[in-house]
Structure formats: structure tokens, C-alpha cells
Amino acid sequence: MLKTMRQNMKSLKIILWFIVAAFIVSIFVIWGGSGQLGEGKGSTSIASIGRHKIPTEDFQNGLRNRVESLKKDMNDIDRSTIEQLNLPQQVLEQIIEQRLLADAARSLGIRASKAEVRDRIVSLPGLQRDGKFIGYDEYKKVLDYNRISLSEFETSIRQEIVLTKTVAALTGGVVVTPEEVWNAYRLSKDSAKIEYLALETATITLDAEPSEAEVRAHFDAHKDAYHLTERREGGYVYLKNDDLKAEVELSEAEVSKYYQDNKAQFETPEQVKVSRIYIPLAGKDKGLAAAEAKSVRDKLRAGEGFADLAKRFSKDAKASAGGDWGLYDWRTLDAKELETVNKLDLDETSEPVELTDAFVILKVTQKDAPATTTLEAAKPRIQSLLKNQKAAALAGQRLANLEKAARKAKSLEAAAKAANLKVQSTGLLKSGESLGDVDPSGVISAALFGIKDKEMTAPLSTYGGVALAELRKVEAPRAATFEEVRAQVASDLADVRKKDKALAKIKEIRAKLNDKNWEDVAAANKVEIKTVTEHKKEQYLGIIGESADVDKAAFSLPLNEISQPIEFKTGYAVMRVLARTEAAREEFEKTKGTEIASLLEQKKNKFLQAYLTKLRTEKDVRIQYETFLKASQDILVRYEKNTSGS
């Protein structure tokens, strides 16, 4: 599931970001209070676009909303999952992109009228019943249930309309040619059934490691390939949050105040899950449909499973899922159905309910009453969170004091010694390179690349603490000496020899292959046969990856002819084509309109991303990485799995 979600998030279109399902679940403040982009209102900024600031609060609200919306699909979402999905970075990037587009909208004079906002709202699929708008009262109830204020929702709709119109204006000149459409269609339809054997160099062993003289000779012959990028070295003082927790004092009043101020964090709304069997009239006699519904109800009484019967008899979009309408989707059903659900107890099934166009049978499969975690039960979690916050604040304050003392003494070393703190060396680092457990995200090294020699950074929040660093040495990019890269050269030479040996081995294997002995030859040489039923051009292929040579062979080799060895990044392969399917012009003509629309959308998205990348440079987008990391931690700490108070 996690892998699927990551892939889905990577493919989100900019204009689809604003609405998920039928409701706005992540609302960002795109326009500032007075129509100026990102007025900070006195808060810290996490990024800037030229002279305009993006308040840290906007990012944190966006990240919090995004995580809470995902909890509807992933009830056990925790910090680890959030980090694996890369949500903090995604949210910040999307805020920046939205603001860049909002800035473009103002430049173009694009606005949304009240009529456009109204028309958009009444047409939202999630606000429809029987093909009509559900009405203002029901609309307000839907927003209340999703904890979205009316003004926030309508502001977000207005912004969505403006940004959609802006995207349309920017991409209006993008076109596709007939040849492009045909080639794209062929790319999606042409396929080949292929079989291949791949030999990776990692499986090859050398009789002996390269000698020192051989390694030196390889370096001399390939000197241009070995360079060192700019590296910087700093001295730093680091205070670990966990080490300061013992000094943190936490009163019962503080725990109680946090609980009262953040009551929503400890509340779980009523959770009701509903399944439905939908038997439409669809031209049938009403009596016949009623009899069918009664027959299904009798089968349920006899003990047949609801899900199995839904798959057999139900005719709505949820039938294939056993009629499961989940925890939320069922709330968009007909008012009569909602009334019926509200009367059912857990695991209770309704009698057939007559609607204008169908009969339905409803069942409540989950019913959890609203619950609030008590202060006593929440206390360990709150204590852990507050201790983390206080320890980080204490570390930050101490290093802020150290920074003042160091600037006054013009020496970090002297100020640290007076404060009984130790200055450590980072060693030479590339920009963004991690510093072990102290700074796995590379905040310190990135900060060193933003200051001049002998200058100091501000206190930097890392994953587990706070650091203060001073730039001590800058090493410009240069050619590497043999001694500096000897280990890399030895590894490269070994890889070259392994690849040569792999090539000789795959040639030997190929010479033994014929139409019928692939399995025997593969087993004798301890390689695996891989079969791909529908290989398409530019498709990722197992350990081989994307390969133009594989694509060329797949669509040019005579059937069953064995290819010459094909080189890929980590080895060699031989393959044969068992069958091939090619796009037909007649079929293409039937779907030409859809193909044009699909390719046009792809080109527009590529253009838009290129445009935004260019805007980032022109508008001088800058991210305050230390602020970003600290702001992320403040949110992520709330989703720690370990909620002990230690």
C-alpha cells in the first residue's frame, strides 16, 4: 500500500492537488491577508519567493492537514510512514508551486467571479444526490462533518478556479501533431513477449584482486574521471535533545493545559462503516425488482454472506468490493438511505428500502461511538511531546547564548571552552552530506556552504538536537590524487574485470542455447530465465532497467532468434522474442480523440513543470532548511509510535 501511495503522489497533477475526492482536505493560504503574497504576519518564514515570505505556520498547517486527511485511508499512519512518503518535502514544494502560480495569476489579471464559485460548488460530485445539488443545509453539514469552515472551503474553491484558469492560460499554446499522437499510441500498444537470461557482474568472482601497480595504471589511464567537488570543513558544537531531557521540568498544569488546548488531537469521531446491495429498476417492473430484493434479503437471513451477495446482485460502483461503502462514501447516499443507516445497530441488516430508481439493502459493518482519550491515558504521549519540545528549546537557547559569546570573542573555540562545551570537526563535507547520527539530513553541511570563511551559522535544528557551526576550511573543486581515490579506483578496476568476465560467460551461454534447451542451460549456469508477457518500449525491465537496446531487439529481432549480448548497467543479457503485437491504424482511428487529449495533457504538464522550474529561478525561491527541518519535527513528533514519557 505504501509503495502504491508513493507512486500515486508522484503523479499528482498540479490542478488536481486542490480537491481530493469531493472535499478539500488540505487548505493552504495562497493569498496573504491583504492580497499580498505570503505576508508573514510576524511569524518565522520557512521559504521566500523574492522579497515575499512563506510563513512557517502555513507549512505546518498544510502538513498537519495533509497527514490528517491520509489517516482516513491509513489509520495507523506514524512518523516513519510520513517520512517514507516524503510528505514534508511534498507539501512545501506544492505550497511554493501554488504561490508561484498565484503570482502568475495576479500578473495575468485572472480572477474568479461569485457566479463561477457558486457554479463550481453546486457541480461537485460529492455534493450531488439524484443528479442534483444537495442544498445549502446539507452542504453545510458535509463541511461541518469534515471540520472545514464555509469560508475556508469557498476561498479554496475560488483559488482552485483561479489557478485552473491560470494553468489553462499558460498552457493554451501547447499543441500535439498527428505524428506525435500516433507514435505515443504505438508506444502504448506495441508489445512483445520476450524471454531473457541476465548475468550480473555482482555474481562474478575474480581469481585475484588487482595489484597496486594495476590500480595505479588504471588511474593514470582514466585521470579525467576522478574529481573532487567543493568540500567544506567546519567546527561545531552539538547539543542532543535527549541529553537535556533530564533538566526539563514538566508540571501537571502544563500537561493539563496542552490537553485542553489540543482536545481535537485526542478525539475520535463516530466511525460507521456501511455496505449496500443496490438493485436498480432499470426498466424492470417495480414488482419484479421488489421480489428480487426480497429474495436477496431471504438469502441473507439464511446465512449467506452480504459481500458475496453484493458481488452477485448489486449493480452500483461498489459491487465488486462486496458492496463496501467504507467509512465516508456512504454519507453521500440518498436521504432515505442515510435515515435507514442511522436506525441500524452494528451488524444489523435493513429490509429492502424503496428509492425512486431502485431497491437497496443496507448493513452497518462497523460502528464505533465517538471517543475521547482521557487525560490520564494521553499523559505519556503529552509528556513525551512536551519534553522533546522543551529540550529542543533549551538546546536552542543555550546555543543562541553561545553564538552571542562566540561573536563577541570572535572565536567559537574560546566561547565553547568557557561554557564547558566541546567543539568537534565536521571533516571535509560536500553540500548536503550527512554527518553521521548528529545530522543525517545534511543541515549542517548545507549551512556551511551558505557562509564565508570564519563565519558562523545561526543555531541549526537537526534530527535529534541543535548545532552551531563555524566555517574553517574551503577546498575548491579539483582533480583527485591517486591516494585520495585509490579505493574507488581499485573498485572500478575490479568492476571492469568482472564485466569482461561476465561478457565472456554470457557469450559462452549464448553459444549453447537453442529453441528448446533454455531451462537446462539456465540451470547448468545458475542463471534465471525471465519471461515478460507484454514488454513495451521504455518499460522498466527487472534487473536490466530501461534499455534502448532491449527495446530495439524486442521490435526488430525475428521471432525465436537469440540476440547478441546486450549490455546493461550491472551486467549482460541475451534474449529472444516469442511473439509480437503491433498497433493497428484502424483501432487508433477509433480512439484518436482520447489519445490526442491524453498526450496533450502530458505535454501541458511537462510544460507547466518546466515553467515553474524557470519561475523558481527568476523569482529567487529560497528555502530555510534549518527552519524547515525544525517545523517538520514539530509536526512529526506528534505521530511518534513510542509515546512513553521517558
Cβ–Cβ under 8 Å, residues 67 and 82: yes
DSSP state of 321: G
The three cell numbers locating residue 395: 538546546
Go through the chain and tell me how many residues it has: 646
Q: Which residue has the higher pLDDT, 55 or 18?
A: 55
Instruction: Name the region of 399 (left: φ>0; alpha: ψ -120 to 50; beta: rest).
Output: alpha
Residue 481 CA to residue 500 CA, distance in Å, equals 27
The whole-number pLDDT of residue 18 equals 33
pLDDT at 305: 94
SS3 per-residue string spanning 505-550: HHHHHHHHCCCCCHHHHHHHCCCCEEEEEEECCCCCECCCECCHHH
Q: What's the whole-number mean pLDDT along residues 242-257?
A: 92
CA gap 438, 395 in Å, rounded: 14
User: By C-alpha distance, which of 400, 398, 439 is closest to 420?
Assistant: 398
Q: For residue 135, how many other CB atoms are within 10 A of its CB?
A: 12
Q: How confident is the model at residue 173 (pLDDT cuts 50, 70, 90)?
A: very high
Which candidate, 295, 297, 321, places its Cα nearest to that of 308? 321
124-170 per-position pLDDT tens digit: 887 888 888 888 888 888 888 767 788 888 888 898 899 989 999 99
Closest to 401 measured CA to CA, from 295, 389, 409: 409
Report the distance separating Cα 389 and Cα 255, nearest Å. Answer: 13
Tell me the torsion sign for CA atoms 415, 421, 427, 431. negative
Cα Rg, the chain, nearest whole Å: 32
Nearest to 544 by CA among 565, 521, 517: 565
Cα angle 591-594-595, degrees, rounded to a multiple of 5:
85
Identify the top-confidence range among 106-115, 436-445, 502-511: 502-511
The number of beta carbons lying within 10 Å of the beta carbon of residue 86 is: 13
For residue 439, give the DSSP letter: B
Taking residue 216's Cβ as centre, other Cβ atoms within 10 Å add up to 16
pLDDT reported for residue 73 = 66
> Is the pLDDT assigned to residue 80 strictly greater than 90?
no
| CA dist., res. 389 & res. 395, Å (int) | 10
C-alpha span between 430 and 298 (Å, rounded) = 72
**pLDDT for the residue numbered 30:** 32
Give residue limits of the domains in the chain: 2-173+601-639, 191-209+483-581, 231-261+386-476, 270-369
2-173+601-639 CATH: 1.10.4030
> What's the whole-number mean pLDDT along residues 227-238?
95
Q: Which residues pair with 372 in a beta bridge?
A: 267
CATH code of 270-369, in short, is 3.10.50.40
Band of residue 455 on the pLDDT scale cut at 50, 70, 90: very high
| Residue 72: per-residue pLDDT | 67
Average pLDDT, the chain: 86
As beta bridge partners, residue 235 has 425, 470
Question: Integer distance in angstroms from the first to the last C-alpha of the chain?
Answer: 32
Q: Which of 63-67, 399-403, 530-534, 625-629 has the lowest mean pLDDT?
A: 625-629
What is the pLDDT confidence band of residue 641, given thresholds at 50, 70 and 90? low
Beta-carbon contacts of residue 206 (< 8 Å; ≥ 6 apart): 494, 497, 498, 501
Q: What average pLDDT does the segment 487-492 reach?
A: 95
Task: Tell me whether strands 52-55 and 45-49 are parallel, antiparallel or unpaired.
Answer: antiparallel
Q: Show the 3-state SS of 39-103.
A: CCCCCCEEEEECCEEEEHHHHHHHHHHHHHHHCCCCCCCCHHHHHHCCHHHHHHHHHHHHHHHHH
| 38-52 pLDDT tens trace | 333 445 889 999 888
Q: Which pLDDT belongs to residue 255? A: 92
Q: Which three cell numbers stand for residue 312?
A: 452477485
**Distance, CA of 449 to CA of 471 (rounded, Å):** 9
Lowest mean pLDDT among 78-87, 187-196, 313-322: 78-87
Which of 20-34, 91-105, 343-357 is least confident?
20-34
Q: Name which of 495, 515, 489 is nearest 578 in CA terms.
A: 515
Same fold flag, 231-261+386-476 and 270-369: yes
How many Å apart are CA 637 and CA 624, to the nearest integer?
20
Does 643 or 173 have the greater pLDDT score?
A: 173
**pLDDT tens column, 292-329:** 999 999 999 999 999 999 999 998 889 888 999 988 88
Q: Is the pLDDT of residue 416 over 60?
A: yes
Q: At 319, give phi and psi (nearest 5°).
A: -60, -45
> Do residues 109 and 80 make contact, with C-beta atoms less than 8 angstroms apart?
no
Written as one letter, the residue type at 188 is: S
Confidence of residue 115 (pLDDT cuts 50, 70, 90): very high
What CATH number does the domain located at 231-261+386-476 have? Answer: 3.10.50
CB neighbour class for 102 (10 Å; exposed up to 12, middle 13-18, buried from 19): buried
17, burial (CB in 10 Å: exposed 0-12, middle 13-18, buried 19+): middle
Q: What is the pLDDT of residue 10?
A: 37
Q: How confident is residue 236, by pLDDT bands cut at 50, 70 and 90? A: very high
For the entire predicted model, the pTM comes to 0.55
Pick the residue with more confidence: 552 or 9?
Answer: 552
The per-residue DSSP string of 250-295 comes to --HHHHHHHHHHTGGGGEE--EEEEEEEEEE-TTS-HHHHHHHHHH
Cell of 345: 445497530
Task: Give the three cell numbers for residue 20.
Answer: 481530493
Q: Does the structure show a pLDDT above 60 at 414? A: yes
* Residue % of the chain over a pLDDT of 70: 91
Residue 17 has pLDDT above 50, yes or no: no
Closest CA to 547 of 517, 570, 519, 531: 570
CATH number for the domain formed by residue range(s) 191-209+483-581: 3.10.50
pLDDT at 13: 35
